[in-house]
Structure 1
């Protein structure tokens, strides 16, 4: 007997379902475009911390040249004070003014875009004052990777290095019985992968400096923040929770991380949001440990530790809930038919 064709009502229902799927996918594409394009369109110096020192008239001239929302200018008593402020990461760079001579101090490893725009501003000021210009980089990238390409490329491997293990561990050790194995596997992976990635970037490409142990621990903490958060969301909510976490990381965390440029290259609100998400905090921690002897590492380390604890708390709640379900099943009487 031949199968009957779909009724009009069934076809209408399928058409509506298809329309919802198409609109939903289009919305996702638009959301991705907004997340990646808008920060790029609005990128540039935003309240860039900059120091200046010199004579009163010269400093006033610099203030006039660096006015606007792009700059946040601080005046220092001496050249040494300014250099110390740059190395302590209080400012991204600075300008020293003397008769017939201007010196621009930069810290390229703190943000290459900031170095470029500060150098350009110093060049303009030197031309206006008909002075010689000297540019000194106090914290450059390593000689083996002077443009910081390896450092910038670490962002996506770190993000996917948190997502893929969460998926794999969920598939290999599913359900309540595998929850503790997923927890142990997530921590073990973060440690092994963190030190492996750091070793590659530091000893193979020469892109990182600093103490290997400290930098490796920071990298591991960043990966742990990602994988533990995703595992926690999946354990408590299911794959919908994992999908939500992955979307936030990819659509917000990645474009707002300021990984390559530093947070001062994004508008204030976006920059702040990016730094409280794991990718942005991971980049800031890696930058601090690799190039600034740990200066400025406390904030991002605390942010990442909070994400790790959040993921573990979600897994603990899921474990308690699962244990109660197991006990209820064991206590239910067995009905013999």
Structure 2
């Protein structure tokens, strides 16, 4: 009598799988916790204007209070500082003179706006101390009080006063792009049909999500059509890359594409904090991936129409084109469910019955 019992998994394989799963969990925890643990301001671009002596004193004082946090850029005056903020060249500005003022931009980063608000309090305290010393030296009974105004040049929308909606929207977009790419890779057969599915899915999802995030939640206060386009391009960049990798490498490409977006690109996307908060060069590297470029483009579309959108647009377009080209290159591969276009092009043709054999005499 033969033994039909299923053989047990070898102990070596069990141990190897367990160790591999431990490594996977470690990588996931590291990828999602490392950016927040190491997050701190580094070389934040901030404009400064005023008398040279006063500028030097403020730069030295703030650098001593927070070493390496701010990288000052000297500008001619308030108007130039405002322009630099609106074009996203700087996060804020310090204006010195008879009426000192600190300019912030909570739409660019609430964290940096809070940091500059604290700097304004320090500046006001130092200015009043200097005024009191000068009055005492001159024997004056009345000490003038100096107030440092804080102006939010580009504030967040009233419907999203803390900016949490805009920051939180990015990870669902990454998951949406992944889900679309994986579903298309599994269900749709034929390179050109996969490309069509990715484009239609991204466009439709862009229209729907712009309505939800903007019209319903109020997280995207900008133009609906611009938001829909930005979301659609982000989804296409992610989903097309995943379907392209699946067409080229099969199941392995599918996993590699998804892991690239979730474990590499998303943690360094700087969707929640400025890229300067991440250790160099990861903040800049993150802007070359779809999640980082998509987050930057969405912020620019909604709050910074004067900013240069060229870089995030080129990055997203580049990833989308690469993904679509990979789908074409890998069209002849059968791995991962793909089949040659010659077969896919005729899969909807009506079936034909084989011709009957002629009758024999």
TM-score (normalizing by structure 1): 0.89
RMSD, aligned CA:
2.1
* 1:3 matched residue in structure 2: 3
- Alignment check: 8 A CA contact 1:169 1:185 kept: yes
* 1:149 matched residue in structure 2: 164
Secondary structure at the counterpart of residue 108 of structure 1: coil
Secondary structure at the counterpart of residue 148 of structure 2: strand
1:28 aligns with 2:18: no
1:167 to 182, 186, 199: 182
Aligned length: 319
Secondary structure at the counterpart of residue 98 of structure 1: coil
Q: How far apart are the structure 1 equivalents of 2:201 and 2:13?
A: 40
* 1:179 matched residue in structure 2: 191
Secondary structure at the counterpart of residue 73 of structure 2: strand
More helix by share: 1
Using the TM superposition, name which of 317-326 and 107-116 deviates more.
317-326
**CA shift digits 1:293-325 (9 cap, x unpaired):** 151311011000010011011011012555499
Q: How far apart are the structure 2 equivalents of 1:323 and 1:188?
A: 22
1:280 to 274, 292, 314: 292
| Structure 2 unpaired stretches of 5+ | 129-145, 334-338, 344-361
Secondary structure at the counterpart of residue 281 of structure 2: helix
* 1:188 matched residue in structure 2: 200
Query: Is the alpha carbon distance of 1:294 and 1:279 closer, same or farther for their aligned partners in structure 2, counting shifts above 3 Å?
Result: farther
Query: Is the alpha carbon distance of 1:149 and 1:169 closer, same or farther for their aligned partners in structure 2, counting shifts above 3 Å?
Result: same
1:297 aligns with 2:309: yes
Query: Is the alpha carbon distance of 1:92 and 1:156 closer, same or farther for their aligned partners in structure 2, counting shifts above 3 Å?
Result: same
* 1:308 matched residue in structure 2: 320
1:108 to 106, 109, 132: 106
Using the TM superposition, name which of 223-232 and 198-207 deviates more.
198-207
Q: How far apart are the structure 2 equivalents of 1:3 and 1:319?
A: 45
The Cα of 1:163 is off from its aligned counterpart by 1.0
- Alignment check: 8 A CA contact 1:159 1:226 kept: yes
Q: 1:87-126 residue pairs with structure 2 within 5 A?
A: 87-99=86-98, 101-126=99-124
The Cα of 1:4 is off from its aligned counterpart by 8.1
Q: How far apart are the structure 1 equivalents of 2:170 and 2:197?
A: 22
* 1:48 matched residue in structure 2: 44
Using the TM superposition, name which of 148-157 and 223-232 deviates more.
148-157
TM-score (normalizing by structure 2): 0.83
Query: Is the alpha carbon distance of 1:324 and 1:224 closer, same or farther for their aligned partners in structure 2, counting shifts above 3 Å?
Result: closer
- Alignment check: 8 A CA contact 1:210 1:293 kept: no
- Alignment check: 8 A CA contact 2:87 2:306 kept: no
Q: How far apart are the structure 2 equivalents of 1:227 and 1:170?
A: 9
1:59 aligns with 2:55: yes
* 1:71 matched residue in structure 2: 70
| Structure 1 unpaired stretches of 5+ | 327-337
Larger radius of gyration: 2
* 1:269 matched residue in structure 2: 281
* 1:236 matched residue in structure 2: 248
Q: How far apart are the structure 2 equivalents of 1:305 and 1:324?
A: 25
